[in-house]
Amino acid sequence: MKQNIYKSAAIVTVFSTIEKMMSFFYRVVLSRIIGAEGIGIYQICLSVFAVFLTAASSGIPVTVSRLMAKNNAVNDVRGKHAAVTAGVVGTLLFTIPIAILLFFGRNALGFLFSDDRCTDIFLLLLPGLILTSVYAVMRGSFWGNKQFVPYSVIELLEDAVMVILGCVLVYGVTDPVLGARRATIAVAVSYVFSFCVSLFWYFHKGGKFVNPKRQLKPLFSASMPITAMRTSTSLLNSVVAVLLPLLLMKAYGLDNSEAISLYGIAIGMSLPILFIPSALIGSISVVVAPELSENFYRKKTAQVKFDVEKSIKAAVFIAALLVPILFVLGDEIGEFLYSNEMSGQIVQRCSFMLIPMCVTMITTTVLNSMNRERRTLIHFLIGAAAMIISIVALTRFVGVYSYMIGLAASFLITGTLNLILLKKTIKDLKYLKYSAHALIVTFSSCAFGILLDGIISHYVAAIWQIVICAVACTLFSGAFLYCLEMFTFRPFKRLISKS
């Protein structure tokens, strides 16, 4: 069983890493072609669209996966099909009326955007609201059936469609608004692709749509808190997309284009680098969540405790490896990727945010798998309030850094509350010693990296400076963790074992 988990995690991680790398470098291409202003417009449209998409479907895939795990525990095949059907019905009941309302009420959408140029671009995404919400349910069915390869392949191909088509469409574009429009068309086409392929695979593997009556109530009961939390996240991003440029204009006397450009640098350039761990944490979550839910419903307490401890330690381990790289090389990475000094400065100064971010992401998944959705929603809302307060109170003093400070505070608060709840839910949960040692390794690796960077920066080109320091910091951290017995090669041996 453990060997299967390691293999599944490895498969999802490899595909997810390739996917995120494609998306990341696509952002680099977009930033160089359509500029910070175009990225800002593109990001604002996606942020507002994400609110509706998240409200429609964000909690349903996780809940469908958990309901399927619950039905797996009692060998109820029809119950699994009913859970998927309930998810599709639920998401269509929301998305179709909303899409129609937004389309015919498009003249009243100006209040959603800080820039009027965004409205027409946003409308291009409306068909995708319906299609990708159905795909989200299919994604949950893949998780519940532990079909991680099809899920990973579809996700990768969806991203490939967006990247390839987007590069073709924006090539040679000089107008930032036209560039943002064409990049958005690529996103919409990728939604059509994943919808068609996921439905084909679901029915090809014996999936059915059956009477969903039995599963509707548990689906909505469990998914609503998750949906509320993730909708709040998307809504929060949209509020930031409107509020932050306005506050920058007011505090520093910037015009609209200048404020949007600053927003684009922080959100469209720096944040994707800082959110690199989300790909790895997401891979762990996808594999662990169904297994954890199944063990939870079967009351395998010892196995649940083991899974939770390993998940938290894995998140801390990922942060310990990545923080030194971004802290040491943030400036160089921003300059190399975007030819933008400020984006690199933000990455470097905010790199330690990765520690609470990783912990928050994994603990939220763990708690949701254990039927604690309402509590994670409350924890998130408390953290979100801290973010808004930071933006309102600090923008005039620190500019766009008010958002980064608020985001770090939000992760710290939410992660701490999640850990407290886990300690109450699972007795004798052990992760503090591991986390303390990981912090020591992180600070030591940062100091090592700064010294090394200072030496080699005089002798090698920027690209080799990044490569050498990144590899050296990773090896230093890995060796230190290995010496502290916080890292072993047993999972890799199991992964390649023929037995």
Q: Do the Cβ atoms of 277 and 357 come closer than 8 Å?
A: yes
What's residue 489's pLDDT?
A: 60
CA pair distance 260, 270, nearest whole angstrom: 14
pLDDT above 70 covers a percentage of the chain that reads: 94
DSSP-derived letter for residue 174 is: -
Average pLDDT, the chain: 86
Least confident of 6-20, 23-37, 204-218: 6-20
| pLDDT on residue 301 | 87
pLDDT value at position 182?
Answer: 93
Exposure string for 90-99, b = 16+ CB within 10 A, e = fewer: bbbebbeebb
Cβ contacts of residue 189 below 8 Å, gap of 6+?
161, 162, 165
- List the structure tokens of 377: 């929603």
Question: What gap in Å lies between CA 382 and CA 376, rounded to an integer?
Answer: 10
- Distance in angstroms (rounded) separating the CA atoms of residues 433 and 421: 18
Average pLDDT, integer, range 21-49: 85
For residue 496, what pLDDT band results from cuts at 50, 70 and 90? Answer: very low
In this predicted structure, which of 97-101, 164-168, 222-226 has the lowest mean pLDDT?
222-226
**Mean pLDDT, to the nearest integer, of 238-267?**
89
Would you list the DSSP string of 271-321? HHHHTTHHHHHHHHHHHHHHHHHHHHHTT-HHHHHHHHHHHHHHHHHHHHH
Residue 359 pLDDT more than 50? Answer: yes
Predicted structure pTM score? 0.74
- Retrieve residue 446's tokens: 């940062």
Q: 118 versus 7: which is more confidently predicted?
A: 118
The span from the CA of 258 to the CA of 264, in Å, is 10
Tell me what pLDDT residue 270 has.
92
For residue 122, is pLDDT > 60?
Answer: yes
Residue 115 pLDDT greater than 70, yes or no: no
Contact present, 87 and 210 (Cβ < 8 Å)? no
Q: According to the model, what pLDDT value does residue 5 have?
A: 62
Q: What percentage of the chain reaches a pLDDT higher than 90?
A: 41
pLDDT value of position 14: 82
Query: Do residues 285 and 362 lie in contact, with contact meaning Cβ atoms separated by under 8 Å?
Result: yes
Mean pLDDT of the region 239-266: 90
Residue range 367-380: mean pLDDT, rounded? 88
Cα(52)–Cα(293) distance, rounded to whole angstroms?
A: 28
DSSP 485: T
Over residues 355-383, the mean pLDDT reads 91
148-156 mean pLDDT: 88
* Contacts with 209 (C-beta within 8 Å, 6 or more apart), sequence order: 81, 84, 85, 88
